[in-house]
Amino acid sequence: MQEARWSIVIPVKTLIRAKTRLAGAAGAHREDLAVAVATDTASAALACPLVARVIVVTADPIPAARLSRLGAVVVPDPDKGLNTALRAGFAESVRLAPGDPVAALQADLPALRPAELARALTAAAEFEESFVPDAPGVGTTLYATGPGIPFRPRFGGESRARHLSCGAKELLLDGIDSVRRDVDTVEDLRAAAALGLGPHTAAVTARFLVG
């Protein structure tokens, strides 16, 4: 049986809005950090053997250009919130490959490992609708649907509870720490660093993160 090949949708905020909770630590490097984190996330997704394509949704030309050069398909963000952006990416994925499963992936996973993403996607392929909770167990880092299944992402805030309440299967797997470790705070960034940051994030954090 041939393994599913996925479309991955990654929403990327405009730089003026990105990583604002890290502004105190990153200072003048905040925008560079945001681009680096998105670059490492998209690079890992593109390197995953189960991923056919990465679709980036953004309104910012700087990450758009960087991620397009990596090989991602870039579509404009309608600027009506995160879940609307994800649905725009989903629409593009259906246009490009209507028979492929689709997963929404947060853009702030700087330690993401292709093999760990593959493990999560392999598990997701067993269900019509599923998700991976973030490391604290409050939010969501990945939301996945099979071919032909309604795409109903519920990201933002306590999204784990919302995904559960609507019947999506929670994927609690060993060995996917890098898929669950999104980064909003300095503590998150240190936790991601302990897993091993991607090269772009590592280069930027070396300018300001000590210890």
- Report residue 43 as tokens: 């690079």
Q: Reduced to 3 states, what is the DSSP secondary structure of residue 75?
A: strand
* Residue 205, marked binder: no
Q: How far apart are the first and last CA of the chain?
A: 47
**Residue (of 38, 103, 41, 28) closest to 65 by Cα position:** 38
* Residue 122, marked binder: no
145, containing H or E segment: strand 140-145
Write phi, then psi, for 132 (nearest 5 degrees): -110, 125
Helix axes 114-124, 30-47, angle to 10 degrees: 60
* Residue 159, marked binder: yes
CB 12 within 8 A of CB 82: no
Give the contacts of 31 (CB within 8 A, at least 6 positions apart).
15, 18, 62
Residues flagged as binding site for phosphoenolpyruvate: 140, 156, 159
For the annotated binding site, the residues are 140, 156, 159
